[in-house]
């Protein structure tokens, strides 16, 4: 047999294997879950959801008012923090920093954690009205000292729940499934 033929017998399987490995590797490295889940940036003020939402049981909607009124849940204005912190824990360095910002009227730049593409028009209202717990998507925030992303929030996540929301909904909820048509989220 010609030596090159023998060489060729090697080339085919090895080449095929190489291609397969590359594809898989690239796929794994670029999967969104790897990039987004567990994103946990440092915040300008060391605010603890564990303390506020967990220990002190402040309801989410007290600060994130938008969630029931608007498409956007929003981050509370500094004023909202000051509602309590004019009087409570005024001594702690974080609160002093907060007060300084508040008095100066400067904006407070929190690091964004949850981010959706620009063409996704997620609306908090129906989800809140349906009684879905914030934790369903945002994770057990009340246990987090520093908030991190718990769910990758891709279309798959949305669809999964919209097709079978029982797990997320409170018992005896009239809602059976969520809309799956494009205009429900995209415009």
CB of 3 to other proteins, least distance (A): 9
Residue 38 in tokens: 């567990």
Measure the CA–CA gap between 35 and 29, rounded to whole angstroms.
Answer: 9
Contact 74, 65 (CB under 8 A): yes
Interatomic CA distance for residues 40 and 43, integer angstroms: 9
Site for other proteins in 3-22 (CB under 8 A): 4-5, 7-9, 11
The answer to whether residue 156 forms part of the interface with other proteins (CB under 8 A) is yes
Q: Does 139 bind other proteins (CB under 8 A)?
A: no
> CB–CB of 162/98 below 8 Å?
no
Q: What does each C-alpha distance from 76 to 68, 135, 159 come to in angstroms? A: 13, 18, 29
61 binds other proteins (CB under 8 A): no
121: contact with other proteins by CB under 8 A: yes
Side-chain-side CA neighbours of 43 within 13 Å: the count stands at 19
Nearest distance, CB of residue 27 and other proteins, angstroms: 12
**Residue 43 carries which DSSP code?**
P
Q: Which of 14, 19, 23, 159 binds other proteins (CB under 8 A)?
A: 159
Rounded to 5 degrees, φ, ψ at 83 are -50, -45
Assess 115 for contact with other proteins (CB under 8 A). yes
How far is 143 from 156, CA to CA, in rounded Å? 26
Comparing CB distances to other proteins, the nearer of 25 and 38 is: 38
Does 47 contact other proteins by CB under 8 A? no
| Contact between 102 and other proteins per CB under 8 A | yes
Does 78 contact other proteins by CB under 8 A?
yes
In terms of CB distance, is 50 or 125 closer to other proteins?
125
Q: Interface with other proteins by CB under 8 A: which residues?
A: 1-2, 4-5, 7-9, 11, 35-36, 38-39, 41, 65-66, 68-80, 101-102, 105-123, 125-126, 129, 154-156, 159, 179, 181-184, 186-187
């Amino acid at each position: 047999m010609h030596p090159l033929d023998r060489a060729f017998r090697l080339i085919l399987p090895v080449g095929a294997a190489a291609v397969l490995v590359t594809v898989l590797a690239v796929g794994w490295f670029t999967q969104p879950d790897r990039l987004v889940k567990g994103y946990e940036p440092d915040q300008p003020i060391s605010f603890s959801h564990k303390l506020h939402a967990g220990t002190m049981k402040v309801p989410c909607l007290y600060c994130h008012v938008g969630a029931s009124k608007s498409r956007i849940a929003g981050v509370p204005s500094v004023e909202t923090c000051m509602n309590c912190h004019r009087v409570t824990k005024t001594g702690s360095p974080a609160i002093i920093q907060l007060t300084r910002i508040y008095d100066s009227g400067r904006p407070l730049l929190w690091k964004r954690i949850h981010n959706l593409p620009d063409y996704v028009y997620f609306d908090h209202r129906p989800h809140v009205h349906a009684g879905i717990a914030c934790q369903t998507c945002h994770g057990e925030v009340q246990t987090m000292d520093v908030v991190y992303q718990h769910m990758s929030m891709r279309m798959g996540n949305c669809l999964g729940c919209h097709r079978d929301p029982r797990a997320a909904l409170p018992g005896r909820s009239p809602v059976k499934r969520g809309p799956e048509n494009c205009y429900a989220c995209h415009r």
